[in-house]
Structure 1
Amino acid sequence: MTEGPADQPDQPQYVLRLYVTGSTARSARAIENMRRICEDHLEGRYDLEVVDIYQNPTATIEQQIIAAPTLVKLLPSPLRRIIGDLSNKEKVLAGLDIHLQLDKQLADEG
């Protein structure tokens, strides 16, 4: 499943892939947490694909996924992996370099 086109050229487009294990409670939490973070901080600038590793086991080999849930940030560079249910919002934002982007914007505006 893919969500969210980007129409803001001055902002980076985030390409994210979330690997989950079926419809477990932990997978559902990870999906909900990531959707909330994307809507709150990346509105209109993200493409989130959810991959069920039970339905697509070859995807784990391609991205070297060893645990689930795992979020992979493909773009913008550098590639990052975050493992867990993504409930620690501050760590997820830091892993996605969102704080750095906001700090840079504030410095450019000030």
Structure 2
Amino acid sequence: MKEGNDDEIWELRLYVAGQTPKSVQAFANLKKICEEYLAGKYRIEVVDLLDNPQLAQGDQILAVPTLVRKLPPPLKKIIGDLSNTERVLVGLDVRRV
């Protein structure tokens, strides 16, 4: 059910603020979505803003958890726990509207 170029590696960065239930849920939801729709074609970097607050400025992070698609371009952002799979797929351009 994947769409797009089969050779692309999706680089995803999840910004969190500690191990809150919402942050843990966002990571679990993201991992599940990636395994189902981008299997073998993704990398997830988790950035804890409690440890590295200066990193929020680079991607203009205003709320957490926030998912940023770094690659493939263009950059995309989704805020929240990523529990709405369809919204995440459309927001990341994995699935077209």
Instruction: Give runs of aligned pairs for residues 1-110 of structure 1, distance below 5 A.
Output: 10-100=6-96
Q: Which has the higher helix share?
A: 1
Structure of higher RCO (CA pairs closer than 8 Å, 6+ residues apart)? 2
- Write the distance in 2 (CA, Å) between the matches of 1:79 and 1:46: 15
What code does the residue aligned with 1:33 have? N
Bigger Rg, structure 1 or 2: 1
Cα offset, 1:49, TM superposition: 0.2
Structure 2: gaps of 5 or more residues = none
Cα offset, 1:10, TM superposition: 3.7
Structure 1: gaps of 5 or more residues = 1-8, 101-110
1:98 counterpart SS class: coil
Q: TM-score scaled to structure 1, two decimals?
A: 0.80
What percent of counterpart residues are identical? 51
